[in-house]
């Protein structure tokens, strides 16, 4: 999923925020006029947003679309998000996050596989750190990355959420393969 590339850095434009309800808890979404910058669970540590930004809590078309897509995802009706993304991070982090977006719905890859995908086969720890800094939970699917030994590894939104998301996607994929609705 390509990230927004035009100069939409949040320090240059007003941001809007909204609380969104999901099956896994309340989430905070922060976006500028055209792209989502942050999506985090409310019980996580606060996301870092430059303080010079004007942030207002309001409903915008982009945030309405985000709520609709999250609702469809949790209902098992959406596998690929279309919301434009503008995650803030280093070039390495963005490369790692782009690789996350290539992991198919319902599948898992290891940190080592992700590191190989970005052409840095020995950087699996750096990739894990980049995943931990992912500012857009669920949509940039760091929950699909597990340890090489099959263990879940870490997840900044909580291992219980990672396990739930993986089981949810496996369930939807299994039923789709059988031709059964959920």
Q: What is the pLDDT of residue 43?
A: 86
pLDDT in tens, 111-127: 999 999 999 999 999 99
Q: Which CATH number characterizes residue 134's domain?
A: 1.10.10.10
Residue 9 pLDDT exceeds 60: no
Please give the pLDDT value at position 7. 42
Which is catalytic among the residues 37, 47, 101, 142? 142
Residue 173: in which H helix or E strand, if any?
helix 159-178
pLDDT at residue number 4: 46
Q: Other C-beta atoms within 10 Å of 34: how many?
A: 12
Tokens 């009706």 correspond to 77
Virtual torsion, Cα 164, 22, 72, 166, nearest 10 deg: -10
Q: Is 37 a catalytic residue?
A: no
CATH number assigned to the domain comprising residue 20? 3.30.160.70
Q: Residue 121: inside a domain, yes or no?
A: yes
Is the model's pLDDT at 61 over the cut of 80?
A: yes
Q: Are residues 147 and 98 in the same domain?
A: yes
pLDDT at 103 over 60: yes
- Other CB atoms within 10 A of residue 116 CB: 17
3-state secondary structure of 110: strand
Residues 65 and 97 in one domain: no
**Cα 107 to chain centroid, rounded:** 15
- Which pLDDT score is estimated for 55? 80
97, pLDDT greater than 60: yes
What is the value of pTM for the model shown? 0.87
Higher pLDDT, 149 or 14: 149
The range of the structural domain enclosing residue 60 comes to 10-74
Helices and strands of the chain, counted as H and E runs: 5, 6
Taking a C-beta distance cutoff of 8 angstroms, is the pair 149, 133 a contact?
Answer: no
């Amino acid at each position: 999923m390509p990230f927004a590339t035009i100069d939409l850095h949040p320090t240059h434009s007003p941001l809007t925020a909204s609380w969104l309800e999901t099956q896994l808890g309340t989430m905070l979404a922060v976006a500028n006029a055209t792209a989502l910058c942050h999506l985090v669970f409310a019980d996580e540590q606060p996301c870092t947003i430059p303080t010079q930004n004007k942030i207002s809590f309001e409903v915008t078309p982009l945030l309405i679309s985000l709520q609709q897509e999250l609702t469809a995802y949790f209902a098992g009706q959406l596998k690929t998000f279309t919301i434009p993304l503008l995650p803030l991070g280093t070039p390495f982090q963005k490369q790692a996050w782009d690789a996350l977006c290539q992991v198919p719905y319902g599948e898992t890859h290891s940190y080592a596989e992700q590191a190989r995908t970005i052409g840095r086969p020995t950087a699996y720890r750096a990739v894990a750190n980049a995943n931990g800094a992912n500012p857009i939970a669920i949509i940039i699917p760091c929950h699909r990355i597990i340890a090489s030994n099959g263990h879940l590894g870490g997840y900044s939104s909580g291992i219980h959420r990672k396990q739930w998301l993986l089981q949810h996607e496996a369930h939807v994929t299994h039923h789709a393969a059988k031709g059964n609705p959920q």
